[in-house]
Chains A and B, each alone.
Chain A
Amino acid sequence: MSRERDKSQSWDWESRQCRAQLDEIFFRQHDYIQTGSAEHREFWTFFERFQRFTAKRDMSGSKSSRQESHEKKANKKSGSVDLGLPKDYDARYRINVSVCSKDVEERLGRSDHKKRRETSGPGRQEITDCRIALLHFLDFNQKQSFSKLAKLRKEQKSLPIFQYRDKIVELVRTHPVVVVAGDTGCGKSTQVPQYLMTSGFNYIACTQPRRIACISLAKRVSFESLNQFGSKVGYQIRFETSRTTATKLLFLTEGLLLRQIQQDASLGQYQVLIVDEVHERHLHCDFLLGVLRSLLPLRPDLRLVLMSATINIKLFSNYFNGAPVLQVPGRLFPIQVFYQPIPPEEQGSRSEKLDPRPYLRVLQGIDQRYLPEERGDLLLFLSGVAEISTIQDACQTYATHTQRWIVLPLHSTLSLAQQDKVFDIAPPGVRKCIISTNIAETSVTIDGVRFVVDSGKVKEMSFDPKAKMQRLQEFWISRASSEQRKGRAGRTGPGICYRLYSESDYDAFAPYPVPEIHRVALDSLVLQMKSMGVGDPRSFVFIDPPPASSIQTAVTYLREQGALDEHGELTPIGRLLAQLPVDVVIGKMLVLGSVFKLVEPVLTVAAALSVQSPFLRSAQHNPDCSTARQPLQSNQGDPFTLLNTFNAWVQVKKDRGSGSRKWCRRRGLEEQRLYEMVNLRRQFKELLRTHSLLEDDSGSRTGPQDRAQRRERRTERQKLHKLKRDHDFQENTKRKVLRLEEGLEGDGSSGSDEERTASNKRKKDEQTVDIQEVKFKLRHNVNELQEAANASADLSSRQQSLLKLVLCRGLYPQLATPDEHNATRKDSEQVFHTRNKQGVVIHPTSVFASDPEVLQVSEQESSADKGQSNRHQLLAFVTLLETNKPYVSNCVRVPALQALLLVANSVDTNADCTRVVVDGWLELGLTDGDMALKVLSSAITLRGEWERLLQAQLGQGGPGSRGGLVGPKPSRRDLDKLCEGLVRFLLYTEVSYSLRRLTGLQSQNLYIGPQQNTDLSSSSALGFLFPGMKTEPDPIKGGLRVSHFFTYNCLCDSMDLYSECLRTFWSCPHCDLYMPLTPLERMQHEATCRPEEEQQPEEDSESAQTSASSSSGLTRVYHCDLCNKDLTLTSTEILKHKRQHLS
């Protein structure tokens, strides 16, 4: 004892050096625990605790140990078999681990020698103390891990589905298709894949309707299957995968599995497919089931498991030939239901705001009936965002008064941080009141809910094929949804559900929600079906077939978009569009953009238009945010604002890394959306590259001078990978406790609150890694991105107009024209019309809602000459959605005449081309016939050339192409010339015209119709003059069909009778033709007659025949050999110029 005390004077456990000496003995580089590791730090913390504990025990312990040894002697006499247990109890005997100490002893010997000279080394006692502490530490860790394992196994066993484990495996072994039906909480999603995995099935795919579920399930199941740090269980979603060759179980989205089938029709990579949540009846899921149904006969070894809530199970079983159904009871606590229909005086009319009184009564009732100490939160289901905000305001007032509630909204347009708050915990005595859309019905599961209030309403998207418009309408929910909502109250204990409708209402509800396939536009589905070659969409055996008219609408639409040809087969562009996981219109933009040198901006715009807007609605009324956003806005249109925002963000990312978070917060931007954009953008780029629509630029980056750079990047990546791993490891962080005033704070909203949260957040930011930033850096090279951003920032006005044209052609026929009386209306009352829907308004988030003047023709100008102007503009828009009003959003403005002539599917004229009707609804009136002819002629030529180059760019390798030969890539020179021509046409067409919509009656009596006109013979007689262009009488409209989009002289009021009289003498500037010609003949000749110097010698006769001339715009570059100069002239001017040399 005294020796020990001596030592402790020279030995200091707190000292770093002393500890380091012991580290040398126990925690060397190859030891179980290594110096510097997290565990090593934990050990020393443990050591301190352990020392305090033993010291305390030593002080009081001597007595008990004496007693014990005394008792032991007594035991020995009575025991029958001697177990040979030590006489004196020592906690060390309870540890089954030892640390092999031979080399430690050697060191000890040495250090004993040393000790005579240096008194500071660890003595025998210190080493023993340290070793014992280490043994206890190891034992402690073992116990901790084992108890985790035991807890996990216990939880698994307690799930209702556990009883059916063997049954499920048996059924799957013996049947190709099995339906597992179980209610919320039965554990099917996490357990069934594991059961199959542990019973020897490999290569299991489990689909989910939602991306977020793929990630969380993969995380949970890998944890439960003790593979948290491996990749046996993985996920794959649009931009992210954790899949490796070792992955045996993969969670993926339905859409992604469909894409995989597109690549490999037999799905040879999987042995088992589990389709989860089939009862939700998403479009992709219904289609997937159909595809799998026809796949089964080809893959008799494949096992298919459908998992569903206990809804309409027969439907699924019958669809798969009477597949066996295993029904598992859920684990719900009893829930009391109260029907509290809203009294008529509180129902209000449709246009009025929702009356909050019925909702407030529920809150009051809860406060009266239940003690605040009895925990349990409230979940309130409303139909939409506006309703949520109304009720939220009222509840907040009540909450501020009572101090017993924290009111939190929940819907998908909130920032993710705001959404995340619903999972935080309310302080004692306070309840959360979560006001949600149906997002909380299935997608988001919140524990601790005891009370549910169900309004019985839902807003659902439907598609109106007549108006070509999406519609968000309020409906009564189905009984299935109603039960689902109720069930949310009984997840963690007995609950209560208040239904704000009567029991008879409930009985009148539809049994199930309307499946998506019956509600939405089927364009993308039909396109995908075509590309997967599953046969005629009309005869495909869906579980619940959509109306034939929906499919027909989609086929027609795709034909209009040029994705399908007249036989309903995929065109080259359609084939490509089917590969792109985006709307057809956005896919078209990408393809068109790649033809011009506009890839970078188009990639960004296409990505931006495919994700939710990064601009948070809640920040719109915050003056600070608006000011900060100002420089990002473009009055060219919303896509340009998005483009500016993205480019600015990339710049910030490059300069300040994770400082971009703050930058976004200042501007009321949801950074997550920008991350999604950058990921999507990259995916688009890769797709374009694989389809050779984009030159591979990797060659430019592999100089030897880059080697150091690459090495640097590699080490950086390693570091980032480690950060990501560490982050994944600690991710199950604890929920924080909400503050009472939480509900009062908007998202990034006004002044002082913002400051406060910002400073709180800043503290947190410094500690935690910005995992999004880490992932961003892993996935993207910020320098490259910044180059791309630079390429699309500061577009010249020429590039800008070309980009607008690309967007417009992509978005066509989604065009809107301003109402003629807009100039006299207030900003907020501007009205627009589309072809199929009159009286649409611009969504308040659009730049044109705040700045509508840029769309108007200045007043003096228009009034001067009956609306004649060259400034008419149209809006091309991405979405038309009717909520309380029909709104267009994501709009871009384009010059009307030029855009229409370049993109419209149908352009009809009268005889002198002064009256042009586009797509049967917009009429352009030009006074100058000569000018009209010139403009039309240029447009036809430009379009012909554009089409030719586009087809060439798309490879022309498809079965539809002549001879199946891959045509030559369009030359840079041709493309540049086309760009030049288009830009000139867009920017410098100086022609005044009127723009108006036709009335219904006018559009009905538009065409003269087919006529046995003598004039037709004259046109065929003229055929020899125009070898390239075949004009045919149009069998429906009448007049002459000059190209697939242009019909001449078919309009009813045309001066048809006099068309022969319109012949005037005309000399062709290119050849020596001099003849009396009609406008049409002139145009045809112009389109086919090329000046000699522009003939390309390498061009074969075939393409020369089929292609239209690239030459004539209004002006073009003419190289005069005699002056040896490049001149930009119109055809007539060239002719004049030539004559000048002759004379």
Chain B
Amino acid sequence: MDLNEGSALGVFRCKLCELSSPYTFYGQKPPNTRAIVLLEECYGMKDPFSPDREKFLVLGSKCSLCSKTVCVGPDCSLFYTKRFCLPCVRDNIHQFPEQIQAELVKKKTIQKTSS
């Protein structure tokens, strides 16, 4: 008996950073999670870092504007009532609240100094 041989539906791959991993569910309802509902259609898998077989991990979803598949990593996308890939956020930056704008500016400078 194995705890996480859940059969993969395919391989999730982020269009921006190329992070990839097999996913075992797609949708708003991770399996066996009763009261939990996702607010977007997500690619997800069993949380590989938890011994508990019911725990899930969301890998990513489609950008609500450009429909690109992106991972949930902060360098690729953000969620603000909907999923936005960072390029789309930048294109529409002024519609986002100040907090997010500030975050993005900060991220840019960090990337610049580190590279």
Contacts and interface: CB of A to CB of B under 8 A. Distances in A.
- Which residue, A37, A67, A226, has most C-beta atoms of chain B within 10 A? A226
A430 to B, nearest CB: 31
A85 B94 contact: no
Contacts of B65: 83
B112 interface: no
Interface string B8-30: 00000000000111100000000
Contacts of B83: 96
A153 B38 CA distance: 25
Nearest to A153: B19
A471 B59 CA distance: 59
A96 B98 contact: no
Contacts of A30: 34
B115 interface: no
B37 A100 contact: yes
A769 interface: no
A145 interface: yes
Nearest to A248: B5
Contacts of A145: 47-50, 57
- Which residue, B20, B45, B59, B94, has most C-beta atoms of chain A within 10 A? B94
Nearest to A102: B35
Contacts of A142: 57-58, 72
Determine the main DSSP class of B at the interface with A.
Answer: loop
A230 B3 contact: yes
A95 to B, nearest CB: 7
Contacts of A99: 35-37
Given A82-B95, A145-B57, A153-B19, A32 B40 contact: no
Contacts of A86: 81
Interface string A122-161: 0000000000000000100011011111100100000000
- Which residue, B33, B36, B48, has most C-beta atoms of chain A within 10 A? B48
B67 interface: no
A647 to B, nearest CB: 38
A1074 B4 CA distance: 86
Interface in A77-124: 78-79, 81-86, 88-89, 93-101, 103-104
A85 B50 contact: no
Contacts of A78: 94
B105 interface: no
A1006 B58 CA distance: 86
B48 A227 contact: yes
Contacts of A1066: none
Contacts of B61: 96
Contact of B35 (A32, A149, A153): A32
A196 to B, nearest CB: 16
B5 A246 contact: yes
Nearest to B29: A100
A150 B82 CA distance: 22
A164 interface: no
Contacts of B94: 75, 78-79
Given A79-B95, A94-B79, A228-B48, A149 B5 contact: no
Contact of B98 (A68, A104, A147): A68
Given A142-B58, A725-B51, A31 B35 contact: yes
B51 A729 contact: yes
Contact of A68 (B5, B81, B99): B99
A658 B82 CA distance: 55
A338 interface: no
B49 A96 contact: no
A763 B78 CA distance: 46
Contacts of A246: 2, 5
B87 interface: no
A96 B95 contact: no
A247 to B, nearest CB: 9
A246 B49 CA distance: 19
B4 A68 contact: no
B29 to A, nearest CB: 10
A83 B49 contact: no
A75 B95 CA distance: 6
A244 B20 CA distance: 27
Interface string A214-234: 000000000000111111100
Interface string B85-98: 00000001011111
A68 B34 CA distance: 36
A94 B89 CA distance: 14
Contacts of B100: 89
A342 B49 CA distance: 52
A146 B48 CA distance: 10
Contact of A229 (B21, B51, B82, B98): B51
Contacts of B71: 146, 150
Contacts of B34: 30-32, 100
A454 B33 CA distance: 58
Contacts of A153: 19-21
A909 B45 CA distance: 82
A72 interface: yes
B95 A85 contact: yes
Interface in A33-79: 37, 39, 64, 67-68, 71-72, 75-76, 78-79
Contacts of B40: 96
Given A32-B33, A32-B35, A227-B4, A81 B92 contact: yes
A83 B35 contact: no
Contact of A97 (B2, B37, B96): B37
B70 interface: no
A89 B19 CA distance: 30
B6 to A, nearest CB: 9
Contacts of A100: 34-37
A147 B19 CA distance: 11
Contacts of A93: 79-81
B36 A95 contact: no
A82 B64 CA distance: 13
Nearest to B82: A83
Contact of B80 (A75, A85, A226, A227): A85
A85 B98 CA distance: 13
A422 to B, nearest CB: 29
A95 B72 contact: no
A838 to B, nearest CB: 61
A133 to B, nearest CB: 15
Interface in A582-614: none
A11 to B, nearest CB: 23
Contact of B5 (A37, A82, A230, A725): A230
B81 A97 contact: no
Contacts of A226: 21-22, 45, 48
A48 B24 CA distance: 34
A146 B98 contact: no
Contact of A230 (B2, B39, B80, B92): B2
A1112 B81 CA distance: 99
Contact of A149 (B1, B39, B48): B48
A96 B57 CA distance: 12
A508 B54 CA distance: 62
A68 B52 CA distance: 41
A89 B97 contact: yes
A373 to B, nearest CB: 24
A75 B80 CA distance: 16
Given A67-B98, A84-B81, A226-B22, 16 more contacts: A32-B54, A37-B52, A79-B94, A83-B95, A85-B80, A95-B39, A96-B42, A99-B35, A99-B36, A100-B34, A142-B58, A146-B58, A149-B57, A150-B73, A226-B48, A230-B5
29 contacts: A32-B33, A32-B36, A32-B55, A37-B52, A76-B95, A79-B94, A83-B92, A83-B95, A93-B79, A95-B79, A96-B40, A96-B42, A96-B79, A97-B38, A99-B36, A146-B72, A149-B21, A149-B49, A149-B59, A150-B71, A153-B19, A226-B22, A226-B45, A228-B49, A229-B51, A229-B53, A232-B5, A246-B5, A729-B51
8 tightest CB-CB pairs across the interface, nearest first? Answer: A226-B48, A89-B97, A246-B2, A230-B4, A100-B35, A75-B94, A96-B79, A79-B95
